[in-house]
Amino acid sequence: MKTTAIYQRASYWLSAHKVSQLPEDSGFEVAFAGRSNSGKSSAINAITKQKKLARTSKTPGRTQQINFFKLDDEERRLVDLPGYGFAKVPLAVKLHWQQTLERYLQTRQSLRGLVLMMDVRHPLTEFDQQMLNWCHLSNMPVHILLTKADKISRGKGNAVREKVRQHLATLSGESSVQLFSALKGVGIEEVQNRLNSWLMVNG
């Protein structure tokens, strides 16, 4: 299934600093989450084949709003969540975003799935496991991208993927995992196919 055109048409729509600023809860959206240095913005840019759609920075934690990107129309959206960990920001900011994210993830009816980014060299951190436990408890489908796969050998990458897959097997609900490299373009079609199923994109 090659439906890349819809992702190439992605465009910035709006940003929300608090739950009251979220757009109407209708249609279909998929959220991207991950630690501040997991390569989340780079992954979104690679999937949409747009170098500057999501902001990338050498300073982790720059994404401190919920950013919405519309696809063919406002009914299908990709959502860039603040990188958890938030790098070097004040405690009050961290607490605000923790509460905002929890409310978004727990109450958003149009959220059809979560793409969770993990650095393939440092998977299943405490933050990652908190997100997976939330998906498990909320029956939220999750697809894991083991990012920066170009940084290690294929053999090591496959071993990490199997380790994560075994962890997912201990949790109920829909889940999957793949290797991904924004730099080398590895795994883009695979994650697009997952997005297609969640966003009801026809081939």
> The domain that contains 187 carries what CATH number?
3.40.50.300
Q: What angle do CA 61, 57, 181 make, to 5 degrees?
A: 100
Q: What is the pTM (predicted TM-score) of this model?
A: 0.92
Q: Note whether 12 and 67 are within 8 A (CB).
A: yes
* Domains of the chain: total: 1
**How far apart, in whole angstroms, are the C-alpha atoms of residue 191 and residue 34?**
15
Smallest CA-to-CA distance from 24 within 32, 14, 33, 9 is with 14
What the block records as the tokens of 160 is: 């990490």
pLDDT in tens, 65-116: 899 999 988 799 999 998 776 556 677 877 887 888 888 988 999 999 999 9
Return all residues near 25 (Cβ < 8 A) that are at least 6 apart: 108, 109, 110
What average pLDDT does this structure show over 19-33? 94
Q: What percent of the chain has pLDDT over 70?
A: 92
Q: Note whether 72 and 6 are within 8 A (CB).
A: yes
- The owner of tokens 């994210």 is 101
Q: Which of 96-100, 146-150, 153-157 has the lowest mean pLDDT?
A: 96-100
Task: Write phi, then psi, for 83 (nearest 5 degrees).
Answer: -65, 120
Domain holding 56, by residue range, is 5-199
